[in-house]
Amino acid sequence: MAEFFQFESDFVDSLRCIPMQVRFKLDTCGVKLKLHQWNQFNERDRHQLVEMPCSTASEIETYRSDLHDLIQQRSGETASDLPVDPHPEWLETTIPQSVQTQAQELGLTIQATQWKNLTPLQRFALIKLSRSNHENKNFLPALKEFDLA
């Protein structure tokens, strides 16, 4: 079952933007999916990318291969690959500095026990939403949704 966050509710019905769970899978399989490529996909394609598993080595390879094919079919472009971090921050028990800094700017502190109790997808979302190249507007709503604020 697909897991969408409340802070994504403004686009989840139409899937006009790439939801966090797909972004999580993209980082897991090492494929760069651009928004204009996502917009070339039909509704069925988008739902397939949401629902497809991407956890085991074989699932990750299948997801990667299917995504490469889909990007080629729908956009005529060749997918770009990204390096896959063998030890991603969202699987670590230490709170990343970007998350701590963003929380502190809001006058909040995230405790280590709170971080450990989050799912990897929730951690991933906070990491992505706290990056300096992101507009960060959903960081506080995510903290509230995850009972951290």
Question: What tokens were used for 102?
Answer: 């963003």
Q: Which residues contact 107 (CB under 8 A, 6 or more apart)?
A: none
What local confidence, expressed as pLDDT, does residue 13 receive? 79
- The yes-or-no verdict on residue 95 having pLDDT over 90 is yes
- 72-to-37, 41, 69, 81 alpha-carbon distances in Å: 9, 11, 5, 13
Q: Which amino acid makes up residue 34?
A: K
What local confidence, expressed as pLDDT, does residue 52 receive? 97
pTM (global) more than 0.85? yes
Longest dimension (CA), the chain: 47
Q: What mean pLDDT do residues 76-105 have?
A: 95
Burial-class residue 96 by CB neighbours within 10 Å (0-12, 13-18, 19+). Answer: middle
- The yes-or-no verdict on residue 133 having pLDDT over 70 is no
Q: What mean pLDDT do residues 99-110 have?
A: 96
Q: What mean pLDDT do residues 83-103 have?
A: 95
- The yes-or-no verdict on residue 134 having pLDDT over 70 is no
- Angle at CA 118, nearest 5°, toward 102 and 97? 30
Coil/strand/helix, residue 83: coil
Calculate the average pLDDT of the chain: 94
Place of tokens 């598993």: 53
Cα–Cα distance for residue pair 20/119, rounded to 1 Å: 13
- Percent of the chain scored above 90 by pLDDT? 87
DSSP state of 8: G
- 120-to-5, 44, 47, 90 alpha-carbon distances in Å: 13, 26, 21, 5
